[in-house]
Amino acid sequence: MPSNSPEYQRKYRQKHAARRKEVSVGLPIELHREFSAYARKQGMSLAALMRESTDLQIRGSQLKSGDVASELRELRFLIANIANNVNQMARHSNRVKELTDENALFGRLRELDELVTKFVDSRLTSPP
């Protein structure tokens, strides 16, 4: 029996009916346009967006965005460079037994931590 025949499709639906449930959702036209545009930007169908975002929302996760993931990879790279520089400074201060301005260094690291936290929070709470 060909896989595209009505009989095959009917049998397939009957066999898999217990594993799958169709859901219909009505949306105001403005929301539909907004969701559709967002789905296109993410390279997804509207149905896939609704499925994934609902699933992730229930589990308390965030929907992954390629733009946010790219920005976070760049941020991780920059922080690794800063950590390397701080490590070199610590090695140097251990050699000369003195850190010239310890409070300024830790203040700048605290500022960096706050900046990174604000950036990550803003990117995860607002659409990219």
Same domain, 28 and 78: no
Which of 63, 80, 104 is a domain's end point? 63
DSSP state at residue 126: S
CA distance 112 to 116: 6
Percent of the chain with pLDDT over 70: 81
Distance of CA 68 to the CA centre of its chain: 6
Same domain, 32 and 57: yes
Q: Please report the pLDDT score of residue 35 as a whole number.
A: 93
**Is residue 127 within a helix (H) or strand (E), and if so which, with residue range?**
none
Same domain, 39 and 4: yes
Q: Please report the pLDDT score of residue 87 as a whole number.
A: 78
What is the tally of structural domains in the chain?
2
**Is residue 13 within a helix (H) or strand (E), and if so which, with residue range?**
helix 6-16
Same domain, 29 and 79: no
How many Å is the maximal CA-CA distance in the chain? 84
Which of 63, 91, 115 is a domain's end point? 63
Which of 63, 78, 110 is a domain's end point? 63
Same domain, 79 and 44: no
Same domain, 68 and 125: yes
pLDDT band of residue 116 (cuts 50, 70, 90) is: confident
Same domain, 15 and 73: no
pLDDT in tens, 51-103: 888 887 777 655 566 677 777 788 888 888 888 877 787 777 777 766 566 67
Q: Please report the pLDDT score of residue 38 as a whole number.
A: 92
Given a contact cutoff of 8 angstroms between Cβ atoms, the answer to whether 64 and 73 are in contact is: no
**Structural domain range at position 116:** 64-128
When pLDDT is averaged across residues 20-48 and rounded to a whole number, the result is: 90
Percent of the chain with pLDDT over 90: 17
Question: What residues contact residue 105 under an 8 Å CB cut-off, 6+ apart?
Answer: 86, 89, 99
Same domain, 43 and 18: yes
Same domain, 43 and 86: no
When pLDDT is averaged across residues 9-29 and rounded to a whole number, the result is: 84
Q: In the predicted model, is pLDDT for residue 128 greater than 50?
A: no
